[in-house]
Amino acid sequence: MRLTVKKLSKAYGFFWALKDLNLDLPPGELVALLGPNGAGKTTLLKLIAGLIPPSLGKIELDRMPLSHANGSSRAQIGLLAPAAHLYEDLTVRENLQFFTSLYGWKHDAGNISSALASVDLSDRADEFVSTLSSGMKCRLSIAKWALLKPGLLLLDEPYGVLDGSGVDLLEEFLKAHCRKGNLVILASHHVSRVLKICSRAIILHQGRMTFNAPRQQPWPDFDQAFREFLPHGEA
Ligand code: ATP
C-alpha cells in the first residue's frame, strides 16, 4: 500500500498539533516516526487510521482519498497501540476468531493456533483477554496483525510493555511484513532500537516535519537533526 499525505494539518481548538505535512511513502518501507513528547506522532497515526478527521489536507491510500475509502480499503490499515483494540470479555482465541471473521476470512483453526504459538500464547488461548498482562495483550495484537496482514500497519510506542523476546518477535514480524511489500509506520521514543530496523526516519517537532530521509550508515544529517530536536536523547 502507498500512503500519500498532502498539506495535512490538525487543530485542537486554536492549537495546531500538526501543520502542513507532506509525505509519500511507497510499499515496503519501515518508517521510524520520531519526535519529543507532544510532537504530533499519535495525532498523525490517528489521522491516517481514520480515527480523527483532518482540519486541512488530504490522506491518500494507493492514490485514493481516505475519505472515499470503502470498508475493504480501510481494512488494509492496522493500528497497534497501547490501548489495543481487543475484546476483554472474549478469550484469546475467540478474539482472533472474531477479527478474522470481521475481516471476511473463514477462520482456520490451524492458522490461529500457529499465530498464538508464534507469540508464545498457546497456553493462554482459552483465557479471557481481561486476565492477560499488558505485554501479553501486545503479543496478542501482534498475532492479530500477523493473521490479518494489513497493507499499512501503524504502531504507537509498542516497546514499553514488551519483554526482550517480545521485542525480538515484534521486530522480526515488522521486517518480514515490510519484505512482503507492506508499509509500516512505527512511532517510538526508543530511537536506537527503531533506527536499527527502519528503512526511513521521520522527525516531527511541534507539529512540523523537520526530517524525512531514507536510512544511511553513517547518517550525519540524522545525527544533526536528532541533536537539534531531541536534545535529551531517548525517553
Ligand atoms: P508523545 O510522545 O508524548 O506520545 P505525541 O508526539 O504522540 O507525544 P500527540 O499525542 O500527537 O503527541 O499530541 C500533539 C499535541 O496535540 C500535544 O500538544 C497534545 O497535548 C495535543 N493534543 C493531542 N490530543 C489532543 C486532544 N484530544 N485535545 C487537545 N489537544 C490534544
**Cβ contact 147:168 at 8 Å:** no
Q: Where does 78-133 have alpha helices with state H?
A: 92-102, 109-118
Answer yes or no: is pLDDT of 75 > 90.
no
Does residue 32 belong to any structural domain of this protein? yes
For the CA of 13, the nearest atom of ligand 1: 29
Query: Ligand 1: distance of its center to the CA of 12 in Å?
Result: 9
Euclidean distance between CA atoms 212 and 35, whole angstroms: 12
HEC profile of 43-85: HHHHHHHCCCCCCEEEEEECCEEHHHCCHHHHCCEEEECCCCC
Task: Give mean pLDDT, residues 202-207.
Answer: 96
Answer yes or no: is pLDDT of 234 > 70.
no
CATH code of 79's domain = 3.40.50.300
Residue of 13, 31, 29 whose CA lies nearest to 185 = 31
Q: Which residue has the CA at smallest separation from atom 31 of ligand 1?
A: 12
Average pLDDT value over all residues in the chain: 91
Does residue 87 belong to any structural domain of this protein? yes
Task: Give mean pLDDT, residues 36-53.
Answer: 95
Answer yes or no: is pLDDT of 83 > 70.
no
Res. 107 pLDDT band, cuts 50 70 90: low
SS3 at position 112: helix
Euclidean distance between CA atoms 27 and 49, whole angstroms: 16
For the CA of 52, the nearest atom of ligand 1: 27
For the CA of 18, the nearest atom of ligand 1: 14
Answer yes or no: is pLDDT of 230 > 70.
no
Query: Ligand 1: distance of its center to the CA of 44 in Å?
Result: 10
Number of domains in the chain: 1
At residue 73, the pLDDT reads 75
Query: Ligand 1: distance of its center to the CA of 94 in Å?
Result: 33
Radius of gyration of the chain (CA): 18
Does residue 18 belong to any structural domain of this protein? no
**Cβ contact 124:136 at 8 Å:** yes
Q: Pick the range with the lowest mean pLDDT from 65-74, 118-127, 183-192.
A: 65-74
Does residue 58 belong to any structural domain of this protein? no
Domain that holds residue 115: 25-52+70-227
Pocket test for ligand 1, best of 15, 191, 205 (most atoms within 8 A of CB): 15
Percent of the chain with pLDDT over 70: 95
Answer yes or no: is pLDDT of 140 > 50.
yes
Does residue 1 belong to any structural domain of this protein? no
Does residue 2 belong to any structural domain of this protein? no
Percent of the chain with pLDDT over 90: 77
At residue 235, the pLDDT reads 41
Query: Ligand 1: distance of its center to the CA of 64 in Å?
Result: 27
Does residue 59 belong to any structural domain of this protein? no
For the CA of 35, the nearest atom of ligand 1: 6
Does residue 63 belong to any structural domain of this protein? no
pTM: 0.93
Res. 106 pLDDT band, cuts 50 70 90: confident
**Cβ contact 57:21 at 8 Å:** yes
